[in-house]
Amino acid sequence: MSKQEIPYKIYLSEDEMPKQWYNVRSDMKNKPAPLLNPGTGQPLTAEELEPIFCKELVAQELDNDTPYVDIPEKILSFYKMYRPSPLVRAYCLEEKLGTPAKIYYKFEGNNTSGSHKLNSAIAQAYYAKEQGLKGVTTETGAGQWGTALSMATAYLGLDCKVYMVKVSYEQKPFRREVMRTYGASVVPSPSETTEVGKKILAQFPGTTGSLGCAISEAVEVATKNPGYRYVLGSVLNQVLLHQSVIGLEAKIAMDKYGIEPDIIIGCAGGGSNLGGLIAPFMGEKLRGEKDYRIVAVEPASCPSFTRGTYAYDFCDTGKICPLAKMYTLGSDFIPSPNHAGGLRFHGMSSTLSQLYADGYMEATSVEQTSVFEAAEQFARCEGILPAPESSHAIRAAIDEALKCKETGEEKTILFGLTGTGYFDLVAYEKFHNGEMSDEIPTDEQIAASIAKLPKI
Amino acid sequence: MSKQEIPYKIYLSEDEMPKQWYNVRSDMKNKPAPLLNPGTGQPLTAEELEPIFCKELVAQELDNDTPYVDIPEKILSFYKMYRPSPLVRAYCLEEKLGTPAKIYYKFEGNNTSGSHKLNSAIAQAYYAKEQGLKGVTTETGAGQWGTALSMATAYLGLDCKVYMVKVSYEQKPFRREVMRTYGASVVPSPSETTEVGKKILAQFPGTTGSLGCAISEAVEVATKNPGYRYVLGSVLNQVLLHQSVIGLEAKIAMDKYGIEPDIIIGCAGGGSNLGGLIAPFMGEKLRGEKDYRIVAVEPASCPSFTRGTYAYDFCDTGKICPLAKMYTLGSDFIPSPNHAGGLRFHGMSSTLSQLYADGYMEATSVEQTSVFEAAEQFARCEGILPAPESSHAIRAAIDEALKCKETGEEKTILFGLTGTGYFDLVAYEKFHNGEMSDEIPTDEQIAASIAKLPKI
């Protein structure tokens, strides 16, 4: 099909939008390792998980076999408010790079949460509502997930309590105000509203909080208050299931125009975006039908795939959550300064970790300054101001396109543009002023953190 | 056509997108009054305007007769990067209001400038490039227009100098950083880079600047530097011409599904959005083919249509620009505190002013707290965080829909959702904290300001 016939942006009609999520685990020969009870070292049962998570979400978490899950009507309706997201042909970027490569991106930032997080937020809120719950609790760092969840709970009329790391609560008031606009109660963590919060405040009176502590508070409130459950925006199998809508839409749009990607690229923090984008393509690869190159891009400052180890670890720094088997830098690992808040997680989705261990994907890491250079170049050509997280994928896509320029190969590249950078302008300012850090962890730092992994 | 058959969002295909702008002046019996030279009191000629504005834009400004203007290919390509904008059926808002009315909105916020401003920015930058110029200068207050212009000049490889009111430059660093990302040089105004800036700084050493002063600096730089021209984001006839793409797309989308609006609502500051949205509908009305209700919504704090007078006035507070005949509160008018920065202009487009004087449109004013109430209600139903400016139109649309609820009428309402509120969260915070002002000007204040109008 010629260049002229493929529009800048491919939008699916409502009829063409996926009606089911795809569960990539169903096609995996080696299933992802189960979550373990940190006390007993035994796989967690549904009964153990249901006091924390909604019943239906627990079922989805543990189901490694069902290939397709119907998307409930109410979620489909909500999706129609901001989906389909466009699949965009980056004609202008290609021209600027002078590459024969064809670059496409799936843009998930055209909604008020500013990212793909909304795809799972509405699903998790829906199942909470169906279960007759009053509300949900969660933690948020920079606030992208908290915003998405607030939007979803506002739509369904559920209560939403967000524990926001105190330093972000104070320094990022804009995200907080978006959440309040959607009716969420936003509590700076640590707080006096929980036992764990009180304890930490007594121990460290001046603390500005941490994600680990915010998780602990959110889980405590969910388990102590009848009618509440805890929800999480990444890492979990259920989240990857919901996010498969990204990849399914991309695949339908590409199939419609006879486009086949050679390389699929996504940024990876906990894995929600990457897992969603690649899902149907990985399915074909697992079934031996196709052989795409699939590339995870992570920050050099937090390189769990490229420099971590594959082992059981805590998902939270507070070490109160279940153990997950994953590529990890150790739950004590403190990444060097990096503004891509969504990619600072020490571990990685168990599903993606297993796929990586089995050789179905590659991983690469990129340094922050080069990421912002790519972000700025992309913004000037394509008009969209990308989030720092998403810009990791842009960097890798540009690098692949430049390789094509050298070799003359007309490869087709698909990457995930997960969100917009409107709330990341402090980072852009540092970049413009030449004050950005490219510090990466030393081998000793990583080894020290990995040495503290729980013994299973 | 039944509810089921109309999708949530109507996107035109690239083939369906308008290829021409529509010049509403061509169908006006009473043409808008010409710009006058403040020195001579005579209509400004093309020769007088060309040292300030690009040649082709001057021609567009003065052309009251040509009904359709071809959109150049390069601009069409740029439009395809972020257009068509969706026409959205507000199903969720309708349900929440319990109204029989059908509400549609044309959403212009899905681009990095966050508003419709980009439609004219790319056109003005294009003609500057075609004329072989090096760059353009402009002023910006809150930064929406400056952002749009930076995106357009980055795309075309033109230099862009933005004079940003000093208080905004310091207090709104995010907008400034977006402009820098797109390669614009952003100068806090008043500055030492111009004669007028130096003079004002000498006279008022601690001043935080004003839009009037920023305009003066931008115009000075444009006229003193070979290869530069000045560009403006609203008020002018040429801007309304470019913005007609909003209304044309909306009309094509509605015609496609057999939808006909009874009421068309837009917020009005300088008139760029309202003029663009209503253009083709107003054309039908002027030609006697249809009879829509067309409603301009302005803030009660800056009510140029509803409480101003129709007379010649300066467009800028510095009184260096041409005189325009318009509904005005006087160029000395200082609006009471209101966060809808884009609606704080003392005057109004000459074209819209003439249409209003001739009875083709209505106007209404709304108070700030009620605007933010509407904004929050809309955000919770429809997912989009609206800009305060756009929320004036939401307020009026909700009020019309509630009237339908009382009367049982199934009216079709179309309103313009001009942009997003990501950079307006300080205002949202004030609203959440109950610190918002609903102060409106007294009759005496308006009379005093109008008494100072230039004598023509």
Residue A4 has pLDDT above 80, yes or no: no
The domains spanning B3-17+83-114+243-450 and B21-70+116-230 adopt the same CATH topology:
yes
CA distance A233 to A148: 9
CA distance A161 to A149: 10
**Helix (H), strand (E) at residue A413:** strand A412-417
Of B329, B334, B266, whose CA–CA distance to B298 is shortest?
B266
Nearest-by-Cβ selection for B111 from A7, A173, A383: A383
By the 8 A CB rule, do B306 and B365 touch?
A: yes
Shortest distance, CA A26 to any CA of chain B (angstroms): 33
Q: Which residue has the tokens 């070292």?
A: A41
Of B19, B21, B31, B29, whose CA–CA distance to B67 is shortest?
B21
Task: List CB contacts of A125: < 8 A, sequence separation 6 or more.
Answer: A136, A149, A152, A153, A155, A156, A158, A231
By the 8 A CB rule, do B314 and B323 touch?
A: yes
A283 — pLDDT class (breaks 50, 70, 90): very high
Residue B89 three-state SS: strand
Number of Cβ within a 10 Å radius of residue A436: 20
Q: B53's torsion region: left (phi>0), alpha (psi -120 to 50) or beta?
A: beta
CA distance A135 to A144: 19
Of B164, B120, B62, whose CA–CA distance to B270 is shortest?
B120
Number of Cβ within a 10 Å radius of residue B451: 9
Task: List, for residues B228-278, the tens digit of each pLDDT value.
Answer: 999 999 999 999 999 999 999 999 999 999 999 999 999 999 999 999 999
Percent above pLDDT 70 for chain A: 98
Q: What does the pLDDT average to over B34-59?
A: 95
Q: Given this model, what pLDDT does residue A105 score?
A: 98
Provide the pairing of β-strand A87-89 with A102-107. Answer: antiparallel
Which chain B residues are within 8 Å of A112, Cβ to Cβ? Answer: 379, 383-385, 420
CA distance B108 to B266: 12
Shortest distance, CA A258 to any CA of chain B (angstroms): 18
From residue A74, alpha-carbon distances to A78, A105, A116, A346 in Å are 6, 27, 18, 35
Please give the model's pTM, rounded to 2 decimal places.
Answer: 0.93
Q: Given this model, what pLDDT does residue B216 score?
A: 86
Which tokens hold the place of A162? 């967000």
Shortest distance, CA B411 to any CA of chain A (angstroms): 22
Residue B39 has pLDDT above 80, yes or no: yes
Q: Do B383 and A111 touch (CB under 8 A)?
A: yes
A2 — pLDDT class (breaks 50, 70, 90): very low
Residue B3 has pLDDT above 70, yes or no: no
Q: What does the pLDDT average to over B378-387?
A: 94
CA distance A428 to B177: 7
**Helix (H), strand (E) at residue A106:** strand A102-107
Q: Residue A69 CA to chain centroid, in angstroms?
A: 20
Q: Do B425 and A7 touch (CB under 8 A)?
A: no
CA angle A139, A143, A147 (to 5 degrees): 95
What's the 3-state SS for B101-137?
Answer: CEEEEEECCCCCCCECCHHHHHHHHHHHHHCCCCEEE
Residue A266 has pLDDT above 80, yes or no: yes
Which residues share a beta bridge with B412? B102
Task: List, for residues B193-239, the tens digit of each pLDDT value.
Answer: 999 899 989 988 888 887 778 888 999 999 999 999 999 999 999 99
Q: Do B383 and A423 touch (CB under 8 A)?
A: no
Q: Which residue has the tokens 């000049």?
A: B153
Which tokens hold the place of A415? 């990457």
Q: Given this model, what pLDDT does residue B318 score?
A: 67
Q: Which DSSP symbol is given to B53?
A: S
Residue B356 has pLDDT above 80, yes or no: yes
By the 8 A CB rule, do A411 and A102 touch?
A: yes
Task: List, for residues A172-203, the tens digit of each pLDDT value.
Answer: 788 899 999 999 999 999 999 999 899 989 98
Residue A1 has pLDDT above 60, yes or no: no
Nearest-by-Cβ selection for B429 from A110, A177, A375: A177
- What's the maximum distance between 2 C-alpha atoms anywhere in chain A? 67
Residue B450 three-state SS: helix
Domain limits, chain B: 3-17+83-114+243-450, 21-70+116-230
Residue B1 has pLDDT above 50, yes or no: no
Answer with the residue of higher pLDDT: A318 or A181.
A181
Q: Do A92 and B182 touch (CB under 8 A)?
A: no
Which residues share a beta bridge with A362? A295
Q: Given this model, what pLDDT does residue A318 score?
A: 67
Q: What does the pLDDT average to over B281-308?
A: 97
By the 8 A CB rule, do A194 and A217 touch?
A: yes
Nearest-by-Cβ selection for A425 from B7, B178, B420: B178
By the 8 A CB rule, do A411 and A291 touch?
A: no
Residue B55 three-state SS: helix
Number of Cβ within a 10 Å radius of residue B362: 15
B335 — pLDDT class (breaks 50, 70, 90): confident
From residue A430, alpha-carbon distances to A143, A299, A427, B181 in Å are 20, 17, 5, 11
What fold, for A3-17+83-114+243-450?
Rossmann fold (3.40.50)
B338 — pLDDT class (breaks 50, 70, 90): low
Nearest-by-Cβ selection for B429 from A82, A155, A173: A173
A344 — pLDDT class (breaks 50, 70, 90): confident
By the 8 A CB rule, do B104 and B94 touch?
A: no
Q: Given this model, what pLDDT does residue A231 score?
A: 97
What's the 3-state SS for B268-306?
Answer: CCCCHHHHHHHHHHHHHHHCCCCCCEEEEEEECCCCHHH
CA distance A340 to B268: 38
CA dihedral A287→A292→A293→A298, nearest 10 degrees, is -70
A162 — pLDDT class (breaks 50, 70, 90): very high
CA distance A448 to A90: 43
Q: What does the pLDDT average to over B160-185?
A: 91
Residues in chain A: 456
Task: List CB contacts of A415: < 8 A, sequence separation 6 or more.
Answer: A103, A104, A105, A106, A264, A265, A266, A393, A394, A396, A397
Residue A3 has pLDDT above 70, yes or no: no
By the 8 A CB rule, do A20 and A71 touch?
A: yes
Task: List CB contacts of A395: < 8 A, sequence separation 6 or more.
Answer: A297, A366, A370, A371, A373, A374
Shortest distance, CA B112 to any CA of chain A (angstroms): 5
Q: Do B173 and A425 touch (CB under 8 A)?
A: yes
Which chain B residues are within 8 Å of A181, Cβ to Cβ? Answer: 375-376, 379-380, 385, 428, 432
Q: Do A429 and B177 touch (CB under 8 A)?
A: yes
What's the 3-state SS for A145-206?
Answer: HHHHHHHHHHHHCCEEEEEEEHHHHHHCHHHHHHHHHCCCEEEEECCCCCHHHHHHHHHCCC
Residues of A with CB under 8 A from a CB of B: 7-9, 11, 13-14, 80-82, 92, 110-112, 114, 151, 154-155, 173-174, 177-178, 180-183, 375-376, 379-385, 420, 422-423, 425, 428-429, 432
What fold, for A21-70+116-230?
Rossmann fold (3.40.50)
Which tokens hold the place of A404? 């094509």
Please spell the DSSP secondary structure of A311-337, one letter per residue.
EEEESSTTS-SPEEEEEES-TT--PPS
Shortest distance, CA B182 to any CA of chain A (angstroms): 6
Please spell the DSSP secondary structure of A240-283, one letter per residue.
HHHHHHHHHHHHHHHHHTT---SEEEEE-SSSHHHHHHHHHHHH
Task: List, for residues A232-252, the tens digit of each pLDDT value.
Answer: 999 999 999 999 999 999 999
Q: What does the pLDDT average to over B119-136?
A: 98
Q: What is the mean pLDDT of chain B?
A: 93
